[in-house]
Chains A and B, each alone.
Chain A
Amino acid sequence: MTQFIYMFIFAVIYLLSIAVAAGFLTVVERRIAGRMQSRIGPNRVGPQGIVQWIADAVKALQKEDIIPTDAHSFLFKIAPYLVFMGVFLTLVPIPFGAYTLMENLDTGIFYVLAMASFVVIGVMMGGWASNNKWSLLGGMRSAAQMISYEVPAALAVFVVVVMAGTLNFQKIVFSQGASPVDWYVFRNPFAFIAFNIFFIAALAEGNRVPFDIPEAESELVSGYNTEYSGMRFLFFFLAEWGNLVVIGALVSTLFFGGWNFWFEYTLEFSVPGRYPIRFEVLGFLWFLFKVSIFVFIIIWIRWTLPRLRIDQLMDICWKYMVPIGLFASIGILLWMYFVPEKSLADTIMRYSMTSFGGLTILYFFYRVFQNLRVTKAKIYANPFV
C-alpha cells in the first residue's frame, strides 16, 4: 500500500512537471521566435514574460466550448484524451536518473513505439469527427505522415538495439558511458546515420516544422484541430509541446549517454545503497541539460526551414530515409560482426568520430562569433531585452 502511495505521488509529480514544462516551453519558443525574427516576444506577464503560459491557460479555461452541430460528438470529445495520453504514457520507461524513473520496463523501446501510435489515433479521430473539410484533410495527412515516419524511426532504433543488446532503456544508458567517446552517436558511422534519421523522423512524428503539413496554416486553417476551442484545443497543444520533451529525452537516452554524468558513477551504482544523492541530482541536471539542447535545436529548426509539400514529404520518407535506414541496419549488423567491441579498429573509429564531432561544433561557434564581430550585432548577444 505504501508503495502504491509513493507511486501515485511520483505519477502526480510527473504529470505536473510535463504540464509545466509544456506550458513553459510555449513561452520559451515564442521568445526564441521573437529573437530570431528581430523582435522581442512576450515579456509583459511576470519577469521576462515567464508566466505568460499561466495567463494563456486561464484565458483558455474561460472560453466557450463549441462542438459543431454535425460533428460526431463522442469521438470529438475523446480525441484530446488519446493525444495527451499518447505523449504522457511514453514517459513511463524513460530514465531521468539512476533512480528517477517511473518503471524500468523490459519492453522499453517497444512500449514507446506502441504508445506513440495513440497520438495518431487521437489526431485522426479529432480530424474525422469534426465534420469539417479542413479537419478531415489535416487528420488524414497527419495519420499518413506519422505512420510513414514511424518506419525510419524504428529502423534507427533497431541500430541502437543491436549495439546495446537490450530493449530496456536503463540498460541502454548503462551500456553507454559518461564520456562522448562511449556515446552511441560516435561509436561508428552507422550509428551516426541512425541518429540523424531518428531525429528527423521524431520531428515528423511530432508534427514539427518542416513536417507540419497536418496543420499547415496557409492551406488548412489549422488542420485537425480547426473546430476545437478553449480547453480541448489547449490539450492538443499541451501534447505537442510535451512531445518536445519526450523527443529530446529519447534522443539523449538512445544516442547521447542519457544521465551518465561521470565515470565512477556507474561503478558505484552497482553496489546497492552506496549511490550518493548528489550523483543522482547531478545526473538528473546533466540529462535535463541535454534535453534542453535538443529542444532548442528543434525550436531553432522551426524558425529556419520552410514547410514541405505532401509529395515531397512522402518522397523523403519512403525514397530516402527508409532505404538509408535499411542500409544503416545492414551496416550495423556487419560492423558488430567484423569489428568486436574494444578492438583496435573500434577504438580508432570512436575517437576519430568524437573528435570530428567536437571540431564541427567548435567550428560552428567560431563562425557564430565571427559573424557577431563582423556585423557588430550587440543586441543579439543579450537575451534579456
Chain B
Amino acid sequence: MLREYGAVLLFSVLSIGFIFVTLLASKIIRPNHPNPVKNSPYECGEVPVGNAWVNFNIRYYVLALIFLLFDVEIVLILPVAAVYKEWLNTGFGLLALSELLLFIAILVVALIYAWGRGDLNWIKTYERANAMDELKNAGDYPLEEK
C-alpha cells in the first residue's frame, strides 16, 4: 500500500532535480557582476527605506484561524462522504445523513458566529474606536490635536 507513494517520491525528486540542473546550467553561462545598487531591494528606483519585514494587517491572522476550522472539517468529512453511498445502499442511510447534516450544521453555526462578530469583513471597525470618534465629535475629548 505504501509502495504506491513511490511515484510521489519519484516525482518530488525529479522536480527538484530538474530545477537544480537547470539552475546549474544557467549558473555556468550567465554573467555575474554584482554591485551594491543592483543588489538593493527594488522600491521603484528610490533608495529603499528601512527594512521590509514590518508589521502587517492582523486580518490575515484571523482569516488563517477561520481557514483552519474549515480545513480540519474537510479532513474529517471527506472520508465519511466517501462511504455515504455505501451506507445508503446497505440501509444505514438515515444514520449517515443525520450525522453528516449535524456536522455541517455545527460548521454553519461557526460561520454565522464569525460573520456576526464581523470577522469576515476585511475592514473591521471596532466599537471602541467608534466611541472615541463620538467623543471627539462632541468636543469633550481632551487630547484633541489642534
Which chain A residues have a beta carbon within 8 Å of chain B's beta carbons? 7-8, 11-12, 14-15, 19, 60-71, 80-81, 84-85, 88-89, 91-92, 102-106, 109-111, 113, 128, 130-137, 140, 143-144, 147-148, 150-151, 154-155, 157-158, 161-167, 221, 226-227, 230-232, 235, 310-311, 314-315, 318-319, 322-323, 326, 329-330, 333-334, 336-337, 340
Contact = CB atoms under 8 A, between A and B. Distances in A.
B115 interface: yes
A318 B81 CA distance: 23
B41 A166 contact: no
Contact of B120 (A69, A102, A144, A318): A318
Interface of B (DSSP majority class): helix
B30 to A, nearest CB: 6
Contacts of A106: 4
A229 to B, nearest CB: 10
Contacts, number: 209
Given A144-B63, A319-B120, A65 B30 contact: yes
B138 interface: no
Given A62-B30, A162-B84, A319-B120, A89 B41 contact: no
B38 interface: yes
A68 B53 contact: no
B43 A110 contact: no
Contact of A326 (B10, B12, B78, B104): B104
Contacts of B33: 64
Contacts of B41: 68, 70-71, 130-133, 227
A84 B22 CA distance: 13
Contacts of B44: 221
Nearest to A68: B41
11 contacts: A60-B26, A68-B40, A81-B19, A89-B11, A92-B7, A103-B4, A105-B8, A128-B53, A130-B52, A235-B19, A330-B101
A102 B6 CA distance: 10
A161 to B, nearest CB: 4
Interface in B87-146: 88, 93-94, 97, 100-101, 104, 107-108, 111, 115, 120-123
A312 to B, nearest CB: 9
Contact of A330 (B39, B74, B104): B104
A80 B16 CA distance: 10
Residue in A14, A92, A137, A318 with the greatest tally of chain B CB atoms within 10 Å = A318
Contacts of B40: 68-69
A62 B31 CA distance: 7
A61 B7 contact: no
A226 B42 contact: yes
Contacts of B120: 314-315, 318-319
A14 B77 contact: no
Nearest to A8: B10
Interface string B1-29: 00011111011101110110011011101
Given A88-B11, A232-B23, 7 more contacts: A61-B25, A143-B60, A144-B59, A157-B78, A333-B97, A337-B88, A337-B94
B78 A158 contact: yes
B78 A109 contact: yes
B84 A326 contact: no
The 4 residue pairs across chains A and B that have the minimum distance between CB atoms: A165-B85, A311-B122, A103-B7, A154-B74
Nearest to A168: B82
Contact of A133 (B43, B82, B122): B43
Contacts of B70: 151, 154, 322
A198 to B, nearest CB: 13
A63 B29 CA distance: 9
Residue in A111, A143, A231 with the greatest tally of chain B CB atoms within 10 Å = A231
A61 B26 contact: yes
A336 B104 CA distance: 16
B84 A133 contact: no
A86 to B, nearest CB: 9
A322 B30 CA distance: 48
A7 B23 contact: no
B7 A7 contact: yes
A161 B43 CA distance: 47
B78 A310 contact: no
B52 A66 contact: no
A82 B82 CA distance: 30
A321 to B, nearest CB: 12
A326 B108 contact: yes
A231 B22 contact: yes
A203 B137 CA distance: 46
A136 B50 CA distance: 14
A128 B108 CA distance: 34
A70 B40 CA distance: 8
